[in-house]
Amino acid sequence: MNGVHDMGGLENLGPIAPEPDEPVFHTAWEARVHALTVASPTRRNIDEGRHQRELIPGPQYLAMSYYEKWFTALCALLVKHGHATPHEIAAGKAAPDSPKAEPLLTAAVVAERMGRAGSYVREAAAPQFAVGDTVKTRQLNPHGHTRLPRYARGRQGVIVATHGAHVFPDSHAHGQGEDPRPLYTVRFPARELWGEAANPKDSVRLDLWEPYLERS
């Protein structure tokens, strides 16, 4: 989806404003939104969560704080998956006939679960490309979730690393299964992306799934 979240290459969005001695969370509610999102049954699909934040309409997306976006997306996902109704969320109270679930994450397992290395690598068909191959990104403009930014579409690059097959967000975000596809790191010269004014030594590297690429 060509949304405002896909902002690589834009300018004039305001100053980058580092805050000295920034706290992890600025308010207690930010910490709770983060924890609710991580503990929620909807967290099982991280790609769907990312896409839900992208679905916040552009002007609001740009105006909201980071955790306002997380809160908005969490509420939407709870409704989408039938865990709650908008009325219940507004009221902060379950409907009388509401079913009771079992939390996925209990306090006893948080430390173990947070310290456990999961993996997005899956078995899949052998990769078509190898390190050193020149590839071109496809000119894709899907209406759903994708991790191929606009600034890197239709551009030529070189494969610099292969990572096996990873869960494919373009499918997974939409409930179409994990659909694992080979994942590559692709190096694009800065001049290929931004033109002759860019430093000829510089490059941008992106991690891109095979369906984004064609041989060049």
Partner 1 sequence: MALRVKALESLMVEKGLVDPAALDALVDHFEHKVGPRNGARVVARAWSDPAYRTRLLADATVAIAELGYAGGQGEHVVAVENTPSVHNLVVCTLCSCYPWPVLGLPPVWYKSAPYRARAVIDPRGVIAEFGTDLPEDVEVRVWDSTAEIRYLVIPRRPAGTEGLDEAALAALVTRDGMIGTALL
Q: Integer distance in angstroms from the first to the last C-alpha of the chain?
A: 25
Residue closer to partner 1 (CB basis): 27 or 176? 27
Q: Within positions 151 to 210, which residues make up the interface with partner 1, using CB under 8 A?
A: 151-152, 161, 163, 166-167, 169, 183, 185, 190, 193-194, 199, 201-209
Of 55, 120, 127, 174, the residue at the interface with partner 1 (CB under 8 A) is 120
Of 116, 123, 132, 143, the residue at the interface with partner 1 (CB under 8 A) is 116
SS3 of 126-169: the string is CCCCCCCCEEEECCCCCCCCCCCCHHHCCCEEEEEEEEEEECCH
- Site for partner 1 contains 140 (CB under 8 A): no
Q: Which residue has the tokens 């930010």?
A: 30
Q: Within positions 52 to 71, which residues make up the interface with partner 1, using CB under 8 A?
A: 53, 62, 66-68, 71
- Site for partner 1 contains 103 (CB under 8 A): yes
Q: Shortest distance, CB of residue 175 to partner 1, whole angstroms?
A: 19
Tell me the DSSP string of 19-84: -TT--S-SSHHHHHHHHHHHHSGGGG-HHHHHHHHHTS-HHHHHHS-HHHHHHHHHHHHHHHTTS-
- Site for partner 1 contains 139 (CB under 8 A): no
Residue closer to partner 1 (CB basis): 135 or 204? 204
Which window, 24-32, 124-132, 134-142, contacts partner 1 (CB under 8 A)?
A: 24-32
Number of residues that bind partner 1 (CB under 8 A): 96
C-beta of residue 70 within 8 angstroms of C-beta of residue 34:
yes
- Site for partner 1 contains 38 (CB under 8 A): yes
CA dihedral 5→10→11→12, nearest 10 degrees, is -40
